Amino acid sequence: MNTRRGFLQLLTAGSVGTAVLNGQSLAAPATISIDGGGSDVWGTEDQCHFYYEQVTGTFDVTVHIDDIEDTGDWAKAGIMVREELSPDAKNVLVRYTPENESSVQWRPSTGSETDSTTQSDIGNGTTDGDWVRLVREGNAIVGYGSTDGNNWTRTCRLPSNRIDFSDETYVGLTVTSFDWGTLCSATFDELSGLSPDENRDIGNVNPAGSVATSTGTETPTATPTESGGTEPTETETETQDEDEEPTETDGAPIDPGTYSVRNANSGKALTVENGSEENRASLIQQPYQGKPSQHWTVESLDDGSYRLTPEHSGKAADLNKGRQRNGANIVQWDWHGSANQRWTIEPVGDDTYRIQSVHSGKVMSVTDGSEADGANVHQMEWNDTASQRWRFDGDLGEPETEEPTETATGGTSQFGLDSGFADPAPWLHDDVSVRTVTEPTRSAVEAAIGGSGPRVVVFETSGTIDLGGTPLKITVDDCWVAGQTAPSPGITFINGRVQISADNCVLQHIRSRIGPGTGEDIQGKDSVNTAYGTQNNVIDHVTASWGTDECMSVGYKTSETTFTNNLIYEALYDPFGEQSEHHYATLVGDDADNVTLAGNVWAKCRRRMPRLKTGSRTVVANNLAYFFDGGSNMDADTEATFVGNTYLGQVDTSDRVFEGGNAYMADNTVAEPPLDAGTPKYGDGNELSSRPLWPDGLNAMPSSEVEAHNLANAGARPADRTANDQRIVDEIRDRAGNDKLDSPYDYWVGDETDVGGYPDLPENTHSLDVPDSGLREWLAAWARAVEAPDASPP
């Protein structure tokens, strides 16, 4: 097998060292990846990484900035001209930021303050395009921006009376992270008018930056000296480093074909997360289920390497942003043929192979040697562990496990009671107390949920239960409220909050519509929530509407809370005639840990879909949001995983949907209407390369399937919906608010009377036959009876 590494050129530099390429210049590299640190290019001194050449006289340089990591509001990538390489040197930078904005800044003289755009063809001297251009024409420096690289808009012209450069200048590409101590990764392509041959950090930068380029041919790698000089290096031709002993191999090279690729440690299959067809969708391991996102076409390339293509998307396995470091994520991306999409596949014994990046020389590995479903696949140095070995199976027949058709709820939803971190009712056994509610009154319910010991609450009546303006609280641990056991049309609580103030509880198939209640304080008036410090609770298939604070929330300092298949809608913006505008959906309180929000619907609420407060750790997967003016806001120290969510009907399409925190983002759709051109989905936070948390029992679906799934399954008794619940489902399907995006208060709900007022459900009755054994299965069968249209009660 050909093991030559003919594509990689890696250049690194210290804060004073300079690297050169053995006297050679690069001609039009296909992709340039720069990791740059530093606090900013601004003020009187700069901190950045600079990849450049010395230029005499005029120049005209253009480049496309394919991506820049959002390490800060003013992280920057762009083309720079400098008089000198000292941090305080005069310079001009045509810059591009994570906000997708291009503009021009300059330092007019050595050590002076930096200024920004002055003369422009457009009002504020900025463009939304990700192409930038810097030109020296005569004695003037001119900056341009473009959306396509063909049609250019001038954003700034600086004549010599503004800034005057000598004939010899340094021109190149630069990156700064706007966060000292953190590297920002930016990817450039389509560079013209420049052949950079040196790179270095400008100013006091730590950690040091680096440059990696892919050219499609063998290129030398530069080595910086410890001081300001440079040393030439020989061209690197072999994948194996000189001080590494090659692993003894046996077996045959892989033949081109289509395979499932199984990790030797876990036995699980290499999978594109959620079956996504988007660029930058992560590769993970999952049990083999015969899905196209688990079928990989192995194609031999002319240099002896391979392309790996997932069958469902036609893209290529790609080393994310061409990064060199251990732990860099492996994703899928449109094929462009660069070294970070080319892989060598070598037999390493026992019918296993290592899959090695031509770009970095590192190998595909499962994070931390994990055997868990959904564990991330990234690159690491080869250390010959089982989690770095892969088997290629050409038999694409039966999956290891059948797709579930019935979940732990008993119904047809993708998400069961055990899909989150909570262990649903570990106390439930056949001898626990079953308490029956026979009349729709507050006192009857309180009698059933109160007292000591584990208990299951069932209903032999339907109806509306008026809570009289005060909360109904479950205050003793180990309680399961099974609203699915009520006769049609089920149980609805009004005029008061339903709260879990205990541990190890399950709440299913009830509706809570708190409304304004008594008094005029909006705070704390959620329709449903969990209380401070509670643990291991599940709220599933519940409808929560008409809250004046949020509609359904997770308490502060809670742990292991799961919200699945809930219908959350129409928080009230004017409950007391003063237009509080506090019509929010879901809040996750301070320090709430191991929260799972999956398969829920949020509709016609202004914001907080969801709001994640300080110190919280949350998984947000496969939720549907409709008609809102602010998606999810996260405090700076939160950790979150957002996978496969769909957000429709955003009022202000110039706003990001996700903001703040430390979040992993994959396959999240924003549509109908889409965001404005240049507006990112996520900003003002730290986007993670792998999931910070994920429950073992959660299997996400592609975001393209979320709307249909959630509208069919979310809320109390989806096969037996009340008029209000059916109305909101129909409104989402029909996009009833889309003609009111310019006047959202014409669609949001001021108080409950705007949509018909509190319901008055009929009081129907039936008798329940509680079994002597199989109580959990009996509860699941009742759940299925109200979730699946073709199911019958047990």
Amino acid identity at 604: K
pLDDT bracket for residue 213 (50, 70, 90)? confident
Angle between helices 723-734 and 706-713 (to 10 degrees): 170
Domain shared by 197 and 288, yes or no: no
- Over range 766-782, report the average pLDDT: 95
Cis, bond preceding 610 (omega within 30 deg of 0): yes
198 and 280 together in one domain = no
Q: Which residues contact 405 (CB under 8 A, 6 or more apart)?
A: 412
Q: Which of 551, 452, 561, 436 is nearest to 503 (CA)?
A: 561
When divided into structural domains, the chain yields a total of: 3
Give 343-379 pLDDT, tens digit per residue.
999 999 989 999 999 988 999 999 889 888 888 899 9
Q: Is residue 409 one of the residues assigned to a domain? A: no
Is the pLDDT score of 247 beyond 70?
A: no
pLDDT of residue 574: 79
**pLDDT class for 752, splitting at 50, 70, 90?**
confident
Please, which pLDDT band fits residue 387 given cuts at 50, 70 and 90? very high
Exposure string for 23-56, b = 16+ CB within 10 A, e = fewer? eeebeebbbbbbbbbbbbbbeebbbbbbbbbebe
- pTM score, whole prediction: 0.60
Instruction: Indicate whether 158 belongs to any domain.
Output: yes
In a domain, 147, yes or no: yes
Residues 137 and 276 in one domain: no
69, pLDDT greater than 70: yes
Q: What is the CATH number of the domain that holds 679?
A: 2.160.20.10
348/615 Cα distance (integer angstroms): 44
2 pLDDT higher than 50: no
Residue 216, pLDDT above cutoff 50 = no
pLDDT band per the 50, 70, 90 thresholds, residue 179: confident
Q: Indicate the pLDDT class of residue 5, thresholds 50, 70 and 90.
A: very low
Nearest CA to 473 among 557, 536, 530?
530
Peptide bond into 207 cis (omega under 30): yes
CATH number at residue 282: 2.80.10.50
Please report whether residue 51 resides in a domain: yes
Final residue belonging to a domain, choices 361, 378, 393: 393
Distance CA 34, CA 30 (A): 13
Whether the per-residue pLDDT at 8 is higher than 90: the answer is: no
Lowest mean pLDDT among 22-26, 125-129, 144-148, 761-765: 22-26
pLDDT of the residue at 398 = 60
267 shares a domain with 213: no
Q: What is the DSSP string of 181-208?
A: T--EEEEEEEEES----EEEEESS-SS-
Q: What is the DSSP string of 23-55?
A: T------SEEEEEE-SS-EETTEE-EEEEEEEE
- Do 261 and 176 share a domain, yes or no? no
| Residue where a domain terminates, one of 176, 206, 227 | 227
DSSP 16: S
- The CA dihedral of 282, 283, 286, 289, to the nearest 10 degrees, is 100
Indicate whether 138 pLDDT > 90: no
Looking at per-residue pLDDT, the higher value among 85 and 373 belongs to 85
Q: Report whether pLDDT(714) > 80.
A: yes
For residue 16, what pLDDT band results from cuts at 50, 70 and 90? Answer: very low
Mean pLDDT along residues 130-142: 92
Per-residue pLDDT averaged across 751-776, rounded? 94
- Please indicate, yes or no, if residue 768 is contained in any of the structural domains: no
Q: What is the dihedral of CA 80, 83, 86, 89, to 10 degrees?
A: -80
pLDDT at 214: 73
Least confident among 48-57, 281-290, 447-456, 573-582 = 573-582
Is residue 497's pLDDT more than 70?
yes
| Cα–Cα distance measured from residue 356 to residue 174, given in angstroms and rounded to the nearest whole number | 29
Q: Check whether residue 217 and residue 274 sit in a common domain.
A: no
Is residue 298 within 8 A of residue 261, CB to CB? The reply is: no
pLDDT tier at 101, thresholds 50, 70, 90? confident
More confidently predicted of 144 and 523 = 144
Residue 777 domain-assigned? Answer: no
Q: Does residue 536 share a domain with residue 622? A: yes
Q: Given a cut of 70, is residue 646 above it in pLDDT?
A: yes
| Residue 419 covered by a domain | no
> Are 346 and 451 within one domain?
no
Q: Which of 376-385, 519-528, 593-602, 653-662 has the lowest mean pLDDT?
A: 519-528
In what helix (H) or strand (E) does residue 734 lie, and over which residues does it extend? helix 723-734
DSSP assignment of 588-628 equals E-TT-EEEEEES-EEES-SB-TTEE-TT-EEEEES-EEEEE
Is the pLDDT score of 300 beyond 70?
yes
More confident residue, 401 or 397: 397
Give the pLDDT confidence score for residue 654 in this predicted structure.
Answer: 92
Q: What is the per-residue pLDDT for 651?
A: 93
Note whether 614 and 635 are within 8 A (CB).
yes
pLDDT for res 122 = 40
DSSP letter for each residue of 229-292: -EE--PPP-BSS-TTSPPPP--SPPPPSEEEEEEETTT-PEEEEGGG--STTPBEEEE-----G
Inter-residue contact 10 to 210 (CB < 8 Å): yes
Instruction: State which H helix or E strand residue 787 sits in.
Output: helix 775-787
Q: Report the alpha-carbon distance of residue 706 to residue 601 in Å, rounded.
A: 10
Kindly state whether residues 338 and 480 are assigned to the same domain: no
For the ranges 115-124, 144-153, 741-750, which has the lowest average pLDDT?
115-124
Nearest alpha carbon to residue 76 among 57, 52, 48: 48
Average pLDDT, the chain: 86
What percent of the chain is modeled with pLDDT above 90?
Answer: 66
- pLDDT tens digits along 692-712: 999 998 999 999 999 999 999
pLDDT of residue 204 exceeding 90, the answer is no
Q: Which domain, by its residues, includes 160?
A: 8-227
The yes-or-no verdict on residue 24 having pLDDT over 60 is no
Residue 736, pLDDT score: 95
More confident residue, 686 or 250: 686
Report whether 92 contacts 163 (CB < 8 A).
yes
Q: Quick check: is 92 in a domain?
A: yes
**Whole-number pLDDT of residue 475:** 97
- Are 310 and 213 found together in one domain? no
Are 18 and 53 spatial neighbours (Cβ–Cβ below 8 Å)?
no
Same domain, 555 and 689: yes
* Domain containing residue 171: CATH number: 2.60.120.200
Do 375 and 451 fall within a single domain?
Answer: no
Q: Is 80 exceeded by the pLDDT of residue 399? A: no
Q: Is the pLDDT score of 577 beyond 90? A: no
What are the distances in angstroms from CA 431 to CA 441, 456, 776?
27, 11, 11
- Given 205, 227, 249, which residue is the final one in a domain? 227
Question: What pLDDT shows up at residue 558?
Answer: 98
